[in-house]
Amino acid sequence: MKGIVFAIAALVLVSQFVRAAGDDEKGGGVEKTLLIKCVDRSGNVTFELMSPADFKLYQEQIAKEGKSVGKAMMAAEKAWKEDETTRKKGFPRGAIGARTAVSLREFTDATKAGEALSSEEEKVENKAQAEKDRAEKREAESIKNKTRTKEYFDKEKSRDAEKESLWNSARNLFETKLQEVMGQAEGGGGGEGASNEEKRDAKKK
Protein backbone atom coordinates (compact mmCIF):
# COMPACT_ATOMS: atom_id res chain seq x y z
CA MET A 1 0.00 0.00 0.00
CA LYS A 2 2.78 2.40 0.91
CA GLY A 3 4.45 1.67 -2.40
CA ILE A 4 1.31 2.71 -4.28
CA VAL A 5 1.05 5.98 -2.28
CA PHE A 6 4.70 6.85 -2.98
CA ALA A 7 4.22 6.07 -6.66
CA ILE A 8 1.18 8.37 -6.89
CA ALA A 9 3.05 11.15 -5.05
CA ALA A 10 5.99 10.78 -7.42
CA LEU A 11 3.69 11.00 -10.44
CA VAL A 12 2.11 14.20 -9.06
CA LEU A 13 5.51 15.81 -8.51
CA VAL A 14 6.68 14.85 -12.00
CA SER A 15 3.50 16.22 -13.60
CA GLN A 16 3.92 19.51 -11.68
CA PHE A 17 7.54 19.80 -12.78
CA VAL A 18 6.64 19.14 -16.44
CA ARG A 19 3.78 21.66 -16.28
CA ALA A 20 6.06 24.33 -14.73
CA ALA A 21 8.72 23.71 -17.36
CA GLY A 22 6.11 24.04 -20.07
CA ASP A 23 4.91 27.34 -18.63
CA ASP A 24 8.47 28.69 -18.65
CA GLU A 25 8.89 27.73 -22.30
CA LYS A 26 5.68 29.58 -23.15
CA GLY A 27 6.89 32.70 -21.37
CA GLY A 28 4.69 32.08 -18.34
CA GLY A 29 7.61 31.78 -15.91
CA VAL A 30 8.61 34.18 -13.14
CA GLU A 31 8.54 37.81 -14.24
CA LYS A 32 11.95 39.49 -14.05
CA THR A 33 12.71 43.06 -13.02
CA LEU A 34 15.96 44.89 -13.76
CA LEU A 35 17.51 47.65 -11.68
CA ILE A 36 18.78 50.20 -14.19
CA LYS A 37 21.29 53.00 -13.61
CA CYS A 38 20.57 55.92 -15.94
CA VAL A 39 22.80 58.93 -16.64
CA ASP A 40 21.26 61.92 -18.44
CA ARG A 41 22.99 64.51 -20.64
CA SER A 42 23.81 66.72 -17.67
CA GLY A 43 25.49 63.83 -15.84
CA ASN A 44 22.72 63.32 -13.28
CA VAL A 45 22.34 59.73 -12.08
CA THR A 46 18.94 58.15 -11.49
CA PHE A 47 17.75 54.58 -10.98
CA GLU A 48 14.73 52.85 -12.47
CA LEU A 49 13.05 49.45 -12.43
CA MET A 50 12.30 47.97 -15.86
CA SER A 51 11.30 44.71 -17.41
CA PRO A 52 13.92 43.15 -19.72
CA ALA A 53 11.72 44.06 -22.71
CA ASP A 54 11.40 47.71 -21.64
CA PHE A 55 15.15 47.94 -21.00
CA LYS A 56 15.84 46.62 -24.48
CA LEU A 57 13.54 49.27 -26.00
CA TYR A 58 15.22 51.95 -23.86
CA GLN A 59 18.68 50.93 -25.08
CA GLU A 60 17.44 50.91 -28.68
CA GLN A 61 16.14 54.46 -28.25
CA ILE A 62 19.50 55.63 -26.85
CA ALA A 63 21.33 53.94 -29.74
CA LYS A 64 18.94 55.55 -32.22
CA GLU A 65 19.59 58.98 -30.74
CA GLY A 66 23.33 58.35 -30.88
CA LYS A 67 23.24 58.20 -34.67
CA SER A 68 21.88 61.75 -34.84
CA VAL A 69 23.95 63.38 -32.09
CA GLY A 70 26.64 64.74 -34.43
CA LYS A 71 24.19 66.50 -36.76
CA ALA A 72 22.12 67.76 -33.84
CA MET A 73 25.22 69.22 -32.18
CA MET A 74 26.16 71.13 -35.35
CA ALA A 75 22.59 72.38 -35.81
CA ALA A 76 22.43 73.53 -32.19
CA GLU A 77 25.77 75.32 -32.44
CA LYS A 78 24.64 77.08 -35.62
CA ALA A 79 21.37 78.22 -34.03
CA TRP A 80 23.29 79.36 -30.94
CA LYS A 81 25.58 81.59 -33.04
CA GLU A 82 22.60 83.05 -34.92
CA ASP A 83 20.79 84.01 -31.70
CA GLU A 84 21.54 87.59 -30.59
CA THR A 85 21.26 86.62 -26.92
CA THR A 86 23.90 83.87 -27.09
CA ARG A 87 26.08 84.55 -30.14
CA LYS A 88 28.76 86.32 -28.10
CA LYS A 89 29.12 83.32 -25.81
CA GLY A 90 30.75 80.15 -27.08
CA PHE A 91 28.46 77.15 -27.42
CA PRO A 92 29.23 74.91 -24.40
CA ARG A 93 29.62 71.48 -26.00
CA GLY A 94 30.83 70.18 -22.64
CA ALA A 95 27.35 70.76 -21.23
CA ILE A 96 25.98 67.92 -23.32
CA GLY A 97 27.01 64.45 -22.24
CA ALA A 98 26.02 61.03 -23.50
CA ARG A 99 22.88 59.32 -22.23
CA THR A 100 23.59 55.87 -20.82
CA ALA A 101 21.65 53.05 -19.19
CA VAL A 102 23.21 50.03 -17.48
CA SER A 103 21.53 47.05 -15.86
CA LEU A 104 22.93 46.56 -12.35
CA ARG A 105 20.91 43.65 -10.97
CA GLU A 106 18.11 41.26 -11.90
CA PHE A 107 15.24 40.35 -9.57
CA THR A 108 12.39 37.87 -9.55
CA ASP A 109 10.97 39.35 -6.34
CA ALA A 110 9.22 42.72 -6.79
CA THR A 111 9.64 43.62 -3.11
CA LYS A 112 13.41 43.09 -3.20
CA ALA A 113 13.62 45.07 -6.45
CA GLY A 114 11.83 47.99 -4.79
CA GLU A 115 14.11 47.81 -1.77
CA ALA A 116 17.20 47.84 -4.00
CA LEU A 117 15.85 50.87 -5.88
CA SER A 118 15.23 52.76 -2.64
CA SER A 119 18.72 51.86 -1.40
CA GLU A 120 20.42 53.23 -4.52
CA GLU A 121 18.33 56.42 -4.47
CA GLU A 122 19.22 56.93 -0.81
CA LYS A 123 22.92 56.57 -1.62
CA VAL A 124 22.65 59.29 -4.28
CA GLU A 125 20.80 61.63 -1.88
CA ASN A 126 23.31 61.00 0.92
CA LYS A 127 26.25 61.66 -1.41
CA ALA A 128 24.72 64.94 -2.62
CA GLN A 129 24.01 66.06 0.94
CA ALA A 130 27.54 65.13 2.06
CA GLU A 131 29.06 67.19 -0.76
CA LYS A 132 26.83 70.14 0.13
CA ASP A 133 27.80 69.88 3.81
CA ARG A 134 31.52 69.79 2.95
CA ALA A 135 31.20 72.85 0.71
CA GLU A 136 29.35 74.80 3.42
CA LYS A 137 31.96 73.77 5.99
CA ARG A 138 34.85 74.92 3.77
CA GLU A 139 33.08 78.22 3.16
CA ALA A 140 32.45 78.81 6.87
CA GLU A 141 36.07 77.97 7.78
CA SER A 142 37.44 80.23 5.03
CA ILE A 143 35.34 83.17 6.19
CA LYS A 144 36.27 82.52 9.82
CA ASN A 145 39.98 82.31 8.99
CA LYS A 146 39.64 85.34 6.67
CA THR A 147 41.19 83.51 3.71
CA ARG A 148 38.01 84.29 1.73
CA THR A 149 35.15 86.73 2.24
CA LYS A 150 31.41 86.17 2.08
CA GLU A 151 31.31 88.44 -0.97
CA TYR A 152 33.79 86.14 -2.71
CA PHE A 153 31.55 83.10 -2.20
CA ASP A 154 28.44 85.05 -3.21
CA LYS A 155 30.10 86.00 -6.49
CA GLU A 156 31.27 82.41 -6.99
CA LYS A 157 27.73 81.09 -6.50
CA SER A 158 26.38 83.72 -8.88
CA ARG A 159 28.89 82.67 -11.55
CA ASP A 160 27.99 79.00 -11.04
CA ALA A 161 24.27 79.78 -11.35
CA GLU A 162 24.87 81.78 -14.54
CA LYS A 163 26.94 78.96 -16.01
CA GLU A 164 24.31 76.36 -15.15
CA SER A 165 21.61 78.52 -16.74
CA LEU A 166 23.69 78.83 -19.91
CA TRP A 167 24.36 75.09 -19.99
CA ASN A 168 20.67 74.31 -19.49
CA SER A 169 19.85 76.55 -22.45
CA ALA A 170 22.42 74.70 -24.56
CA ARG A 171 20.98 71.31 -23.54
CA ASN A 172 17.42 72.38 -24.32
CA LEU A 173 18.48 73.70 -27.72
CA PHE A 174 20.37 70.50 -28.43
CA GLU A 175 17.38 68.33 -27.49
CA THR A 176 15.16 70.36 -29.82
CA LYS A 177 17.60 69.96 -32.71
CA LEU A 178 18.06 66.27 -31.92
CA GLN A 179 14.33 65.67 -32.30
CA GLU A 180 14.31 67.66 -35.55
CA VAL A 181 17.22 65.69 -37.00
CA MET A 182 15.70 62.37 -35.97
CA GLY A 183 12.39 63.41 -37.53
CA GLN A 184 14.14 64.29 -40.78
CA ALA A 185 16.01 60.99 -40.74
CA GLU A 186 12.68 59.18 -40.59
CA GLY A 187 11.62 60.88 -43.83
CA GLY A 188 10.06 64.24 -43.10
CA GLY A 189 8.96 65.98 -46.32
CA GLY A 190 11.29 68.27 -48.22
CA GLY A 191 13.51 69.16 -45.30
CA GLU A 192 17.19 68.59 -44.74
CA GLY A 193 16.72 64.85 -44.31
CA ALA A 194 14.59 64.38 -47.46
CA SER A 195 15.85 62.53 -50.50
CA ASN A 196 16.93 64.40 -53.64
CA GLU A 197 13.83 63.15 -55.43
CA GLU A 198 11.55 64.54 -52.69
CA LYS A 199 13.35 67.90 -52.85
CA ARG A 200 12.90 68.07 -56.64
CA ASP A 201 9.20 67.33 -56.24
CA ALA A 202 8.93 70.04 -53.60
CA LYS A 203 10.53 72.60 -55.96
CA LYS A 204 8.13 71.70 -58.77
CA LYS A 205 5.20 72.40 -56.50
Cα gap 12→55, rounded to integer Å: 38
pLDDT (tens digit per residue) in 2-18: 444 344 344 434 344 44
Closest CA to 47 of 58, 36, 62: 36
Measured CA distances, 179 to 22, 44, 54, 86, 100 (Å): 44, 21, 21, 21, 18
The pTM is what?
0.73
Q: Give the domain ranges of the chain.
A: 30-186
pLDDT tens readout for residues 114-157 = 999 999 999 999 999 999 999 999 999 999 999 999 999 999 99
pLDDT tier for residue 30 given thresholds of 50, 70 and 90: confident
Give the model confidence (pLDDT) of 77-105 as tens digits: 999 999 999 999 999 999 999 999 999 99
